[in-house]
Amino acid sequence: MFSQQLIYSTALLGLSTAYATPRATLSDDGFPDPNAQQLLSIEQQADGLLSNLPPPPTLSQAGIANFQLIAFNENLEVQFFEDIISNITNHVPGFESFKSSTYSEAAILEILKTVKAQEELHAITAITTLEHFNAPLVPKPCTYRFPSTTLEEAITLAETLTAVVLGTLQDAEQSFAKNGDDGPVRAVSSVIGQEGEQNGFYRSILNRKPSEKPFLTTNVAAFAFSALQQFVVSCPFDLTQIPIPIFPALNVLTTAEARDMYLSFSADLTGNPQISEGSDFASLFVTYLVGQQLPISEPVINPKFDGGVLTFDALFPFTENLMSGLSIAALTNSSNFANADALVANTLAAPGLIQVNEVLLPNHKAGNYSRFASYPSRHV
Ligand SMILES: *[C@@H]1O[C@H](CO)[C@@H](O)[C@H](O)[C@H]1NC(C)=O
Ligand SMILES: *[C@@H]1O[C@H](CO)[C@@H](O)[C@H](O)[C@H]1NC(C)=O
Ligand SMILES: *[C@@H]1O[C@H](CO)[C@@H](O)[C@H](O)[C@H]1NC(C)=O
């Protein structure tokens, strides 16, 4: 059975600095400020128009923060897909089509061009909403660096990023409901379905079952914003103007498998005033978000604190909780959370993104779909 996990570590970022100079952020299609003709071209490539519904009459402060995060994330996704398209087009080694895929290179390229155009329209929608409400900050595209060096790694990362977004948009909808922002709900729901279609495709070409779970893993805005930081080289605005906290990364050091097992974690807690050599680390927890379960907290064991970095283990309780697909881990200083949003105030480091996926044999025959291939584990 295939299990794959993402390791967000300073080592990874250190490695990334060896990459070529990050690309300029402005696409040749005019994004993020296309003129009318360029917008039409984007819409034609996206197979649909921007919404022409009037903007909602009001938007709460929380609603503005939701759209700031959506714009920040969509800008990043546009550049991510632009980079993959450019790597395929320029025959960068590793970006040939999957050998196991039933799609030709031309088909994959066309699909990704359409995804990129669709992400551009998502971004433009968030940007124009923020502009309409005179938001104090409208995120512009940043300069990014991505760790993937093959098409398969890039699609694997696309799948995880999209799964994180699918959890985060649940949080946005919850926030809209709580704050009386009924205006954007229908449009944002249409994007949730759209991103789910994308992920079904990514999962298919990765030889995973297209539909991940009965109820997709939830997430919170702060964990999404924190996770995206590792791809950012620099931004033409002050990130702290987006009123969403950024946590230290929770690095997952063990490859998770589809069984109960202990995972090792590390987190750099330098600068956390609550933490010192004398802290009671055994009173901390790893709290997992998975599906629509109440947050699952497991006590930290074997804590070692050295130079501000805490290393520890915690149970990954797969069997009882059927943790297939994405699990999102946080280092917390309490347990028994009533819901995902309650985690944020008690989080010290997050998120750790953990994926466990069954993989169908690439050359399976009818009637043999329940077999699993083992893949080399890789770090995204
Ligand atoms: C494009 O290729 C370069 C060179 O291998 C790589 O560093 C970069 O991460 C790739 N971009 C994406 C989005 O995979
Ligand atoms: C738990 O962590 C939060 C966030 O760092 C902090 O504000 C709070 O004081 C901590 N509580 C305890 C009991 O350490
Ligand atoms: C089913 O998968 C198993 C394990 O990989 C393999 O040995 C067997 O030949 C496959 N059967 C068919 C009908 O493909």
233, 256: one domain: no
The C-alpha atoms of residue 249 and residue 229 are separated, in whole angstroms, by 9
Nearest ligand for residue 332 CA = 2
Last residue of a domain, one of 219, 241, 263: 241
Domain count, the chain: 2
From the CA of 367, give the closest atom in ligand 3. 13
pLDDT at position 102: 76
Answer whether residue 272 is part of any domain: yes
Cα diameter, the chain: 63
Tell me which of 380 and 265 has the higher pLDDT.
265
177, 306: one domain: no
The C-alpha atoms of residue 310 and residue 159 are separated, in whole angstroms, by 29
pLDDT at position 125: 97
269, 237: one domain: no
- Contact at 8 Å (CB) between 184 and 191? no
The C-alpha atoms of residue 213 and residue 326 are separated, in whole angstroms, by 9
Residue 154: CB within 6 Å of ligand 1? yes
pLDDT in tens, 117-137: 999 999 999 999 999 999 999
pLDDT at position 361: 67
Instruction: Give yes or no for residue 27 having a pLDDT over 70.
Output: no
Band (pLDDT 50/70/90 cuts) for residue 363 is low
38, 163: one domain: yes
Q: Cα–chain-centroid distance for residue 346?
A: 21
Q: 374 C-alpha vs ligand 3 centroid, how far in Å?
A: 14
Tell me which of 313 and 13 has the higher pLDDT.
313
131, 257: one domain: no
Last residue of a domain, one of 201, 222, 241: 241
Supply φ then ψ for residue 179, to 5 degrees. -105, 15
Query: Which one of 223, 300, 310, 333 would you pick to mutate in the ligand 2 pocket, going by the greatest count of ligand atoms within 8 A of its CB?
Result: 333
- Contact at 8 Å (CB) between 255 and 4? yes
pLDDT at position 28: 80
**Looking at 74-83, 141-150, 202-211, which range is the least confident one?**
202-211
Answer whether residue 246 is part of any domain: no
Instruction: Give yes or no for residue 19 having a pLDDT over 60.
Output: no
Answer whether residue 208 is part of any domain: yes
Answer whether residue 354 is part of any domain: yes
pLDDT in tens, 260-281: 999 999 999 999 999 999 999 9
The C-alpha atoms of residue 129 and residue 160 are separated, in whole angstroms, by 27
Place of tokens 């938001």: 135
Task: Give the residues surrounding ligand 2 with Cβ less than 6 Å away.
Answer: 274, 333, 346, 348
Answer whether residue 338 is part of any domain: yes
The C-alpha atoms of residue 378 and residue 156 are separated, in whole angstroms, by 10
- Contact at 8 Å (CB) between 32 and 141? yes
Burial class for 374, CB neighbours closer than 10 Å (0-12, 13-18, 19+): exposed
Q: Which domain holds residue 117?
A: 4-241
Q: 12 C-alpha vs ligand 2 centroid, how far in Å?
A: 28
The C-alpha atoms of residue 340 and residue 374 are separated, in whole angstroms, by 33
52, 117: one domain: yes
Band (pLDDT 50/70/90 cuts) for residue 6 is very low
pLDDT at position 236: 97
Answer whether residue 315 is part of any domain: yes
Residue 76: CB within 6 Å of ligand 1? no
Q: Give Cβ neighbours of residue 328 (< 8 Å, ≥ 6 apart).
A: 164, 167, 217, 219, 223, 288, 289, 290, 350, 351, 352, 353, 354
pLDDT in tens, 188-197: 999 999 999 9
Place of tokens 């080592």: 11
236, 172: one domain: yes
Token readout for 313 is: 């283990």
292, 201: one domain: no
Band (pLDDT 50/70/90 cuts) for residue 104 is confident
Token readout for 294 is: 């109440």
176, 260: one domain: no
Answer whether residue 78 is part of any domain: yes
SS3 of the chain: helix, strand, coil, percent, to 5: 40, 15, 45
Band (pLDDT 50/70/90 cuts) for residue 100 is low
Residue 330's CATH number: 2.60.40.10
Instruction: Give yes or no for residue 67 having a pLDDT over 60.
Output: yes
pLDDT at position 12: 32
pLDDT at position 101: 64
Residue closest to 357 by CA, chosen among 196, 205, 172: 205
As a residue count, the chain comes to 380
- Measuring from atom 14 of ligand 3, which residue has the nearest CA? 365
pLDDT > 70 fraction of the chain, expressed in percent and rounded: 87
Rounded mean pLDDT, 338-354: 97
Angle ∠(207,208,213) on CA atoms, nearest 5: 170
236, 256: one domain: no
258, 211: one domain: no
Q: 5 C-alpha vs ligand 3 centroid, how far in Å?
A: 27
Under DSSP, the state recorded for 244 is S
222, 255: one domain: no
Instruction: Give yes or no for residue 10 having a pLDDT over 70.
Output: no
- Measuring from atom 9 of ligand 2, which residue has the nearest CA? 274
Nearest ligand for residue 161 CA = 1
Residue 116 three-state SS: helix
Residue 196 three-state SS: helix
Last residue of a domain, one of 200, 220, 241: 241
Q: 242 C-alpha vs ligand 2 centroid, how far in Å?
A: 22
